[in-house]
Structure 1
């Protein structure tokens, strides 16, 4: 157990870890927006997101390790595990989106990628607020409002994906279609995972309010 864990009361450690995990995911989402809006120095920008993903993995593993050695937890162990896993899925998809943009060798991003990246970032900002709210759950309505907004953003992402694919199939470059469709779908999937996080947070707020 590290010094930080010794100084923080055991029932607060999970909240500290979740807040760090959410903050790192929010930073990765912001970096994804930056990449999509300015598709230069792609290798360096993709690497910066990859490093954040590694940090997120370390926190996720730390949550599981802490869960295995903590007898009394502030939330149900299943809730802790579900939330850690759902947040990790969001981070993984942000990283894989940046990875595909880089390794597929696309010439530039387009408005659809920018819009999807922005929706991911907005979703993660809402998630971060809701994660901070579960520390005490004094205002479950606040958490629920954040979760409802994440659901709304996911619906918008569905619309963007549908338009992106529609526009894509008006073109004739088969290789480009395959690459871009995969990137679009990967970005939209990140918003699906954000919705999964929101559902877990909503359940927690209901059960513990």
Structure 2
């Protein structure tokens, strides 16, 4: 422990908050997969999703409140802010796409939506493990492995999106094309946001190892 940490102990509450935020994102991804695999009681499912999104907002607020009143932080303030914002972005896209499915009035989901939802869930599970690793950063290599896997999953999602849109444009219903293209792209965007989180976590692991 350095002199600075001995004189003014670092506040570890941030790691608890980040763990809670990552768990909340995983809960949202789990619900998304449940929604697209069993597209029933959609209004109720979307209400549950909105509640999870609100929980994430509350945790984000706690993180920023903690940041405003903590003099010495275990990570750089900018790193804390970037990570909180990036995790919240994933949650926003998961919730936003679920609400979009309901508001667009789609009556069924398809294989592309299911594949993309499952890729989101795989990505956030990796993120949850990486977030847990930044508490001590005893093994930055393991954090980096999680981040590399998130990047790989995002590339897979790009391919799924490409094939989904190619198939979509073989149809002639313009309204359906518009609706489904929006949903596909927002699901894929959630994996982009997962990659953003992975990049933040990778930077943290390198800087503090």
User: Matches of 2:161 and 2:107 in 1, distance apart?
Assistant: 20
Partner of 2:37: 37
2:143 and 2:201 in contact (8 A); partners too? yes
Partner of 2:4: none
Partner of 1:118: 118
User: Matches of 2:28 and 2:49 in 1, distance apart?
Assistant: 6
Residue aligned with 1:11, SS: coil
User: Matches of 1:180 and 1:156 in 2, distance apart?
Assistant: 19
- Unaligned 5+ segments in structure 1 are 1-8
Partner of 2:17: 17
Deviation, structure 1 residue 10: 5.9
User: Matches of 1:107 and 1:87 in 2, distance apart?
Assistant: 30
Partner of 1:131: 131
**Number of residue pairs aligned between Structure 1 and Structure 2:** 201
User: Matches of 2:187 and 2:97 in 1, distance apart?
Assistant: 6
2:11 and 2:70 in contact (8 A); partners too? no
Deviation, structure 1 residue 11: 1.8
2:53 and 2:95 in contact (8 A); partners too? yes
- Normalised by the length of structure 2, the TM-score is 0.95
Partner of 1:100: 100
Partner of 1:85: 85
Deviation, structure 1 residue 12: 1.3
Alignment of 1:153-172 (within 5 A): 153-172=153-172
Partner of 1:73: 73
Partner of 1:6: none
Segments ≥4 residues shifted beyond 4 Å: none
Deviations 1:38-66 (A, max 9, x none): 00010111111110000000000110111
Partner of 1:206: 206
- Normalised by the length of structure 1, the TM-score is 0.95
Residue aligned with 2:11, SS: helix
